[in-house]
Structure 1
Amino acid sequence: MDWRSTVLTVLVVVLVVAVGYLAYRVNQPVQVRVTVTSPVTTTVTTYITTTATAPASTSTVTTTASVVSTVTTTTTATVTSTSVSTVTSVTTTTTTPPRQIRIASLDPACSQIIFTLGLGDEVVLLDTYSRQILTYFNVTIPPNATILTSIWPAPSIEAVVNASPTVICYDLGFYGPSTLASFSSIGIPIIIINGTADRTFQQIETDAYLVAKALGAPERGLKVASWMSTVINSVTSKVSGLSKPTVLFMDWSNPIYAPSNLTFIGYEIGVAGGLDVVNTTVPWPTLTPSQVLVYNPDYIIASDFMGNCSATLAAIMQIPGINYTKAVREGHVYVLGNLATSLVEEPGPLSVYGAEVIAAILHPEAFGLSSVPQCISSEWVLGMLKPTLPG
């Protein structure tokens, strides 16, 4: 082999090695590590409309709520690339602020429902009568809540707007449709209950459930309904099989203003083991002294319409011919203090204790009592019956 053949052979070997090396390098993946942090802020507006009609009641709850939430998402990605980039790991953290509810409660029926549902901390406005009854139950009213000192014939729309609620609880039975039209114009979602128009405990339970559902907590409504049923069943079991005395409930003496058996109070008297003696077709008739004598009730139970038990008893005794009634002759005239009156006259969840108060008056032995005082004070109710809110 001459020298030219040797050189050619060497060149061929070098070329083969070079081509092999280049092929090796081309086939190796090129790794690029990229970390990307991308904050994204999104605002989502959701409109929620709930309409529910309870089969046991004519009450309808309609609420339309606008909920605006801000979601901040931080994504960290590690990308490993050959010819095409590939995401191998993604870490995402999402934070959504909780929805805030601010409730304006326009009367005691609404307030009783809201606080027994355990949503009292969300109340930004309520009335002075609600505060009065809730105070007896050691309920803490939010310190910054607006207190309406007057709610009849209608609460102040300006005061409600200034409290900046996100939802209003409205008692249609108390205020009626005309006031509802005024409140509808301010653009704040409204939950409508029968409230004062309720005639049975079952209707109150329905109101409570519908409010709870509208506020996103239906299970709380079911819990309140169950609690009410437990208290009612306890009362009815105690008075079951006992005599049913006739009762005249008096809310004023001159003229004599009394609820008939068509009213919620008449219904409570029945649950308590008595009979409302006023059987007129008018729910709240004005009676004459002669009518009272004809009714001749076994018991007279009165709200403290004079603001003082002794004064109220004196006013009752001034009704002509009242001494001839069986109630007076047998010493069965009773005056309810502030707490007892609120429990009996306000159709809310706490009215189950109103039935218990009446039952204790009519059938003290069923509650282990030898007697009941003529003046049913708040201290007596709290000490003897020990009412509480649902736990």
Structure 2
Amino acid sequence: MVRTAVLAVVVVVLVVVVVSVAYLLMYAKPRGASTYPVNVTDALGRVVVINAQPGSIGIVSPDCAQIIYALGFGGRVNLIDTYSLQLLQYLNVSVPGNVTVLHSIWPAPNIDKVILAHPSLLCADAGFNYGLTKYLGQLAAANITVVFINGTNNVDLSGIESDVMLMARVLGVPQRGEAVVSGMNSVINYVKSKVSSEPRVTVVFLAWYNPIYAAGNSSFIGYYITLAGGYDPVGGMYPTITPSQLLVINPDYIIASNFMDNYTATLEAILSIPGINETNAAKEGHIYILGDLATSLVEEPGPLSVYGALELAMIMHPGAFGITEVPHFITAQWVIDNVKPSLNLTIPSG
């Protein structure tokens, strides 16, 4: 009788264990995953409730695209802007042909097209898509949840990391967010290690020539110039400076976006600035113009921007990376061959 009772207890325990294991396998969340609903505070200070992992995602800025794809959710994108699409094409990332493409996103995308595409989540840039705020009621009524990242309002790496972790929580994958942040820091540490013993050079980054718009040392670009081993003497965010001020600065390097959409035209515009030929940059042949991909990496504050810091470092200190010559027009092919940007946030080799 005692033996029978013991066997009965053993059987009951085994049944409980089997049922418990089966439950865990079927219903337990992966380690690091979020349990919904999730409350997040976005870049506008709004508390947004995410009731379930988004089944479809809309993107209206390239920094959002970088984050969504780096987190591994590109397959759920059903709405994207043309600038993000171009960036992904440079990286050989395929986007389905039936995805809705928005050709205008500043200061807000076409709301009718957004509602028609009906993503369950819309990622927006608080700095670039600021006009979207007046449509939040319409989007909510259409059951489209909008989350704003800080985006182009960021002035340093920590802001981008916060954006990554915000969207990682929204998507229920905080550990993936941590992995992306870790990859970003690996690239930045690689850049720092390469330029640590290099002499600092004075750099002016031009966004326009008449009047002269320059990225100041308080801007995101100025921050990366410093990380890349340069010195940006222009104060503020994106001030205008006079030709006389540019001559006083006397930069060793002038780096510019391709603001005329043509290398020759952009170079001629820069060389038309009075006194420009008296600068060290002109005398030493250190005027560089960035093509579309090169500009995206430097100007768009998403995870891939760490490659913008690497790109700047390679322009200013090519010898530190074993580069013998840098072209004056930084094409997409040069970036792919040398900077090797990747949504996996890997350090380039070879």
Q: For residue 50 of structure 1, what is the aligned residue in structure 2?
A: 39
Distance 1:134 1:317, change over 3 A: same
Q: For residue 276 of structure 1, what is the aligned residue in structure 2?
A: 232
The whole-number CA distance in structure 1 between the counterparts of 2:239 and 2:183 is 33
The one-letter code sitting in structure 2 at the alignment partner of 1:258 is A
Asked whether the 8 Å contact 1:168–1:191 carries over to 2, the reply is yes
Q: For residue 348 of structure 2, what is the aligned residue in structure 1?
A: none
Asked whether the 8 Å contact 2:291–2:329 carries over to 1, the reply is yes
Q: For residue 139 of structure 2, what is the aligned residue in structure 1?
A: 186
Partner-residue secondary structure (3-state), 2:335: helix
The whole-number CA distance in structure 1 between the counterparts of 2:165 and 2:45 is 11
The one-letter code sitting in structure 1 at the alignment partner of 2:265 is A
1:59 deviates by 7.0
The whole-number CA distance in structure 2 between the counterparts of 1:372 and 1:172 is 35
The whole-number CA distance in structure 1 between the counterparts of 2:204 and 2:320 is 21
**5 Å matches for 1:108-127?**
108-127=62-81
Partner-residue secondary structure (3-state), 1:185: helix
The whole-number CA distance in structure 1 between the counterparts of 2:54 and 2:305 is 30
Asked whether the 8 Å contact 2:203–2:254 carries over to 1, the reply is yes
The one-letter code sitting in structure 1 at the alignment partner of 2:139 is I
The whole-number CA distance in structure 1 between the counterparts of 2:134 and 2:169 is 23
Given candidates 107, 110, 113, the residue that maps to 2:61 is: 107
TM-score (normalised: structure 2):
0.84
Asked whether the 8 Å contact 2:155–2:219 carries over to 1, the reply is yes
The whole-number CA distance in structure 2 between the counterparts of 1:380 and 1:62 is 43
The whole-number CA distance in structure 1 between the counterparts of 2:198 and 2:215 is 24
Q: For residue 49 of structure 2, what is the aligned residue in structure 1?
A: 64
- Structure 2 residue 337 is the aligned partner of structure 1 residue 348: no
Asked whether the 8 Å contact 1:231–1:352 carries over to 2, the reply is yes
Distance 1:319 1:221, change over 3 A: same
1:152 deviates by 1.7
The one-letter code sitting in structure 1 at the alignment partner of 2:153 is A
Q: Segments of 4+ in structure 1 off by > 6 A?
A: none
Which protein is richer in strand relative to its size?
1
The one-letter code sitting in structure 2 at the alignment partner of 1:329 is K
Residues 294-344 of structure 1 show CA distances to partners (whole Å, capped at 9, x for unaligned) of 111110000011111121111111111101111101111000111100100
Asked whether the 8 Å contact 1:47–1:64 carries over to 2, the reply is no
Q: For residue 320 of structure 1, what is the aligned residue in structure 2?
A: 274
Residues 3-38 of structure 1 show CA distances to partners (whole Å, capped at 9, x for unaligned) of xxxxxxxxxxxxxxxxxxxxxxxxxxxxxxxxxxxx
**5 Å matches for 1:195-214?**
195-214=151-170
Asked whether the 8 Å contact 1:259–1:265 carries over to 2, the reply is yes
Higher RCO by CA contacts (8 Å cutoff, separation 6 or greater): 2
Q: For residue 261 of structure 1, what is the aligned residue in structure 2?
A: 217
Partner-residue secondary structure (3-state), 1:219: helix
Residues 236-260 of structure 1 show CA distances to partners (whole Å, capped at 9, x for unaligned) of 1000121110100001111111110
Q: For residue 191 of structure 2, what is the aligned residue in structure 1?
A: 235
Tell me the C-alpha RMSD between the 2 structures.
1.8
Residues 96-146 of structure 1 show CA distances to partners (whole Å, capped at 9, x for unaligned) of xxx661111111111111011110011111100001111111111132211
- Structure 2 residue 214 is the aligned partner of structure 1 residue 225: no
Asked whether the 8 Å contact 1:167–1:189 carries over to 2, the reply is yes
Partner-residue secondary structure (3-state), 1:277: coil
Which protein is richer in helix relative to its size?
2
Distance 1:222 1:203, change over 3 A: same
**Runs of 5+ unmatched residues, structure 2:** 1-34, 346-350
Asked whether the 8 Å contact 2:80–2:102 carries over to 1, the reply is yes
The whole-number CA distance in structure 2 between the counterparts of 1:384 and 1:194 is 30
The whole-number CA distance in structure 2 between the counterparts of 1:390 and 1:360 is 20
The whole-number CA distance in structure 2 between the counterparts of 1:60 and 1:372 is 43
1:60 deviates by 5.1
Distance 1:110 1:184, change over 3 A: farther
Asked whether the 8 Å contact 1:107–1:130 carries over to 2, the reply is yes
TM-score (normalised: structure 1):
0.76
Asked whether the 8 Å contact 2:41–2:48 carries over to 1, the reply is no
The whole-number CA distance in structure 2 between the counterparts of 1:100 and 1:353 is 29
Distance 1:245 1:61, change over 3 A: farther
Residues 163-213 of structure 1 show CA distances to partners (whole Å, capped at 9, x for unaligned) of 01111112112122x532322432121212101101111210110111011
The whole-number CA distance in structure 1 between the counterparts of 2:329 and 2:225 is 18
Asked whether the 8 Å contact 1:62–1:192 carries over to 2, the reply is no
Given candidates 243, 249, 253, the residue that maps to 1:289 is: 243
Q: For residue 142 of structure 1, what is the aligned residue in structure 2?
A: 96
Amino-acid identity (%)? 50
Q: For residue 4 of structure 2, what is the aligned residue in structure 1?
A: none
Q: Which has the larger radius of gyration?
A: 1
